[in-house]
Amino acid sequence: MTIIPYSITRKETWDAFVEMSKNGTFLLKRGFMDYHSDRFFDCSLLVYAGISPDGDFKEKSLTTKDLVAVFPANWDKEQRTVYSHQGLTYGGLVVLPEVTQKEVLDIMQAILQYYRDMMQAERLVYKPIPYIYSSIPSGEDLYALFRAGAKLSRRLVSTCVSMQNPMKMRSSRVQQARKAVDHGFYIDRMTEGDNETLREYWTLLEDVLMTHHNARPTHTLQEMQLLMSRFPKNIKLYIVRHEKSIVAGIIVFECRRVAHVQYMASGDEGRAYGALDLLLRHLINERYKQFDYVDFGTSNEDGGRVLNEGLIFQKEGFGGRAVCYDTYEVNISEVRNYPSKLEEVARGDGGVCHTSMAVPYLSLQRISASFEPELTAEVSRVVQGGWYLLGQENKRFSKAFSEFCGAKYCVPTGNGLDALTMILVAYKRMLGWGDDAEVIVPSNTYIASILAVSRAGLVPVLCEPRLEDFLINPDNIEALITERTKAIMVVHLYGRVCDMKPILEVAKQHGLKVVEDVAQAQGVCYQGVRAGHLGDAAGVSFYPGKNLGALGDAGCVTTDDEALADYVSAMSNYGSSEKYVNRMKGLNSRMDEIQAAVLCLKLKRLDADNEARRKVVQAYSEGITNPLITLPSLPSDPTENVWHVYPIRTPERDRLREYLSREGIETMVHYPIPPHQQQAYAEWNDRSYPISEQIHREILSLPMSPVMTDDEIRRVIEALNKFSL
Ligand SMILES: *Cc1c(COP(=O)(O)O)cnc(C)c1O
């Protein structure tokens, strides 16, 4: 989305857009607004779909057909207030009929952010276009405002008659109209340019308003003359005459499907003999039969003071129903960046603003925002509590997460790597494994799994994965087992659970420990059992980008083995379970209380978030049909994958990635260099793990998170299907 301020060179574009829109009326055309231009500083906006290449605003790249909304507004610099309607009967967002509800929300949010960031506006006063003016009635603009904390500041009541379904006119009104005819009143219309008639009516109007209501018309006669000469097709004056003189009259603004009554007045004689009844009956029954509504216009003034109760009653007697002209106020300076597609608001040249709507790979900002206000409240609670390590929050999390996995114990740690490392170190010391003890790990995992083995002073033995699911291939394990083998580390890579049954069988046969790396798969199940409870022990990471992520580093160990849990717990705290008593040479790897509180909160939504990821996957797997791309296979039981990553494969990976980046779609490669080719494992550099190498060459991760919008998903699918060599 790109937002630019209105300028005179876009006048025609603006008018054409209002014409095509679902809720614009001629009242929002530039000619009408510009007529006020000397009174107000214009800060109207144009909203274009799409972004200019490189995130750089290029005016020419925005075509009229990309225009999705316009926002008429005036700016009171002193008050730092934006008015959507200053000088207009009403204002508000004008959109095309095909713009979705969700898009309206995003557009309104972008507009608020624009005024906040680009103009340092403090307030928006918004008087929306009443629903009767929309071809498709809707209120997303208001919903967006409420989301931003808007308050109703003023309500004016109008009365309108629905033409599709008019109510019967009251007999008293019909009688009054007859009285008018009998008295010799007749209806006339001011011809174009007949300023004499307009002046005469205006005198009557001013007189009536002054004597009966102590009020003046909003417009001056000169302004009305000017408007009528500019919009002769839209603004009409109907009058009732007796003999030659004017006894009553109504000025009507003819909008697309609504006849909007602006100035209605009747002199004493007109009142006595029902002149307005005659005229209104004519307008409703004859003149505006083809319209959707006749809007009688508000009959109250500032503060909702009723101008003329009799008049309101009279209008209601014609079958009118109330329609509200509300005014809302938003404190813009307090508008927060709502989780939406708006990733960035960049300033272009000359005050031009451009909001780029790139599809992020994963927006942690948006995820955090989706947990507000509870997230911030939890953090503050811990901060204010004054206890930051090894406290109640750790206990709470430990209980919640062990219950979640079904494991007996959960020991919080500083991060995932430490969790895995400490499991292996604990086993090594408790079971007396030597330095030559071997642990089988997948050759294509994230290097941290392998580092844990190395850090524990054990020997990693790499096992090739299956190409179809990227997981350790149980068929390859047996051949790697020696008398030194002590454990198998399974990694539920990309969120998919490993094929546990054959792995557990081999492990049992050879007396091996099975350690799970659950860094990427919190919540995944294997035949109804959660990861974290599928082997002898599991190391979990809560790195911010994981499915369950902290606001920094955190991890844990889960196990049913009490001795192991105790050992790890002591090791994570300098080897001490009792203060200043050290059982072993430990480390310092603890989860801080803030992270524990955050994780408790986020854990409650983990299953729902994983389900949201599955929805994205469903859309991807149904939508992406490009034969150049191999999609990841879907497990027959959907709970076997929590889709930490949605990995596609293509031999043209780098070209595809570049292309997607140009399309504004961020992707990742998990991972570009296989562990055995890393400098960190130089001793393996001349080895060959062909499946692993192929995966690392071809794999590409598409945007994936539980907070992706439908529009983002659609854009990713469309871009992928358009990709060709
Ligand atoms: C993230 C990750 C880790 C390490 O977790 P940290 O909390 O970052 O130390 C280990 N293994 C895998 C597979 C990972 O993705």
DSSP letters for 685-705: TT---HHHHHHHHHEEEEP--
Cross-strand bridge partners of residue 668: 701
Q: How far is the CA of 560 from the centre of ligand 1 (A)?
A: 22
CA separation, residue 445 to residues 244, 259, 555 (Å): 94, 69, 18
Query: 17-21, 196-200, 608-612, 633-637: lowest mean pLDDT where?
Result: 17-21
Which of 517, 518, 540, when mutated, tests ligand 1's pocket best, judged by the most ligand atoms within 8 Å of its CB?
517
Note whether 392 and 603 are within 8 A (CB).
no
Taking only the tens place, the pLDDT of each residue in 202-260 is 999 999 989 988 888 888 899 899 889 989 999 999 999 999 999 999 999 999 889 99
Nearest CA, atom 12, ligand 1: 519
Nearest CA, atom 14, ligand 1: 519
Nearest CA, atom 10, ligand 1: 448
Q: How far is the CA of 631 from the centre of ligand 1 (A)?
A: 24
pLDDT category at 335 given cuts 50, 70, 90 is: confident
Alpha-carbon dihedral angle through residues 514, 519, 520, 521, given to the nearest 10 degrees: 60
pLDDT at 315: 76
Q: Is 462 helix (H, G, I), strand (E, B) or coil?
A: strand
Distance CA 555, CA 543 (A): 7
Nearest CA, atom 13, ligand 1: 446
Atom of ligand 1 nearest to the CA of 415: 7
H or E, element range at 546: none
Q: Is the dihedral of CA 452, 454, 458, 460 positive or negative?
A: positive
Q: How far is the CA of 447 from the centre of ligand 1 (A)?
A: 8
pLDDT category at 553 given cuts 50, 70, 90 is: very high
Atom of ligand 1 nearest to the CA of 445: 13
pLDDT category at 5 given cuts 50, 70, 90 is: confident
Residue 120 burial (CB < 10 Å; 0-12/13-18/19+)? exposed
Taking only the tens place, the pLDDT of each residue in 255-313 is 988 999 989 999 999 999 999 999 999 999 899 999 999 998 877 766 666 666 677 77
Q: Residue 305 has which token pair?
A: 């003071």
Nearest CA, atom 2, ligand 1: 519
Residues whose beta carbon lies within 6 Å of some atom of ligand 1? 415-417, 445-446, 448-449, 491, 517, 519-520, 541, 543, 553, 555
DSSP state of 681: G
The angle at the Cα of 327, spanning 325 to 332, to the nearest 5 degrees, equals 155
pLDDT category at 112 given cuts 50, 70, 90 is: very high
Which of 423, 489, 492, 520, when mutated, tests ligand 1's pocket best, judged by the most ligand atoms within 8 Å of its CB?
520
Which of 541, 556, 595, 599, when mutated, tests ligand 1's pocket best, judged by the most ligand atoms within 8 Å of its CB?
541
Which residue, 421, 405, 346, is CA-closest to 586?
421
Distance CA 470, CA 212 (A): 83
Q: Residue 278 has which token pair?
A: 């005659």
Which residue, 369, 363, 353, is CA-closest to 117?
353
Taking only the tens place, the pLDDT of each residue in 338-374 is 544 333 333 322 333 334 457 899 989 889 988 888 8
pLDDT at 344: 35
Q: Residue 592 has which token pair?
A: 């801080």
